[in-house]
């Protein structure tokens, strides 16, 4: 039986993959598309409940994010030999337009505005394993981005 401490590693892998440029929708960076939607709606925080397949606020169109990350995390859990009933809740939170630190101020024109991605995995003992990843992103702009051919 796997150690539950390994759920922190799955939270890390999920957050890392969520903000990755390889996380794409229709060939474009999914996070950039999500950020553009959030900015248009004046929303700074988006919360995905992966197991219940819901997103808050409801005005955000999750595209394929919910189903994709449900499958991604299921593969991670299967790979670590976790049983299906161990994980009770998986939440991915993305908070945009954060206050920039010194380095982020220098790179703001290149990489965009700071954001944080937080992943929370709660087990059947109600213990939560989490990981937070901070980076910068800009909204989707098809004239500035190259479309992935994957």
State which of 6-15, 16-25, 76-85, 138-147 shows the largest mean pLDDT: 6-15
Side-chain half-sphere exposure of 117, counting CA atoms within 13 A? 19
Check residues 45 and 31 and name the one with the higher pLDDT.
45
Task: Please report which confidence band the pLDDT of residue 101 belongs to, taking 50, 70 and 90 as the band edges.
Answer: confident
Asked whether the predicted pLDDT for residue 73 surpasses 90, the reply is: yes
Burial class for 31, CB neighbours closer than 10 Å (0-12, 13-18, 19+): buried
Asked whether the predicted pLDDT for residue 110 surpasses 90, the reply is: no
Check residues 88 and 136 and name the one with the higher pLDDT.
88
Give mean pLDDT, residues 119-147: 81
Task: Tally Cβ neighbours within 10 Å of residue 111.
Answer: 13
**Structure pTM?**
0.86
Task: Please report which confidence band the pLDDT of residue 149 belongs to, taking 50, 70 and 90 as the band edges.
Answer: low
* All structural domains of the chain with their residue ranges: 6-137
pLDDT at 113: 82
Share of the chain above pLDDT 90, in %: 48
> What is the per-residue DSSP string for the chain?
---TTHHHHHHHHHHHHHHSTT-EETTEEHHHHHHHHHHHTT--EEEEETTTTEEESTTS--TTHHHHHHHHHHHHHHHTT--TTSEEEEEEEEEESPPP-HHHHHHHHHH-EEEEEEEEEEETTS-EEEEEEEEEE----TTTSPPP--
């Amino acid at each position: 039986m796997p150690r539950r401490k390994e759920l922190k590693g799955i939270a890390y892998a999920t957050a890392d993959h969520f903000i990755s440029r390889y996380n794409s929708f229709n060939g474009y960076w999914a996070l950039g598309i999500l950020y553009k939607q959030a900015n248009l709606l004046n929303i700074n925080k988006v919360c995905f409940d992966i197991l219940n397949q819901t997103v808050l606020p409801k005005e955000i169109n999750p595209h394929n994010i919910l189903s994709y990350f449900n499958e991604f995390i299921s593969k991670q859990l299967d790979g670590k030999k976790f049983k299906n009933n161990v994980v009770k809740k998986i939440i991915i939170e993305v908070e945009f337009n954060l206050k920039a630190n010194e380095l982020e101020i220098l790179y703001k024109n290149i990489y965009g505005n700071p954001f944080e991605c937080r992943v929370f995995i709660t087990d059947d003992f109600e213990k939560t394993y989490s990981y937070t990843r901070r980076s910068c992103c800009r909204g989707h702009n098809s004239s500035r981005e190259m479309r992935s051919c994957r």
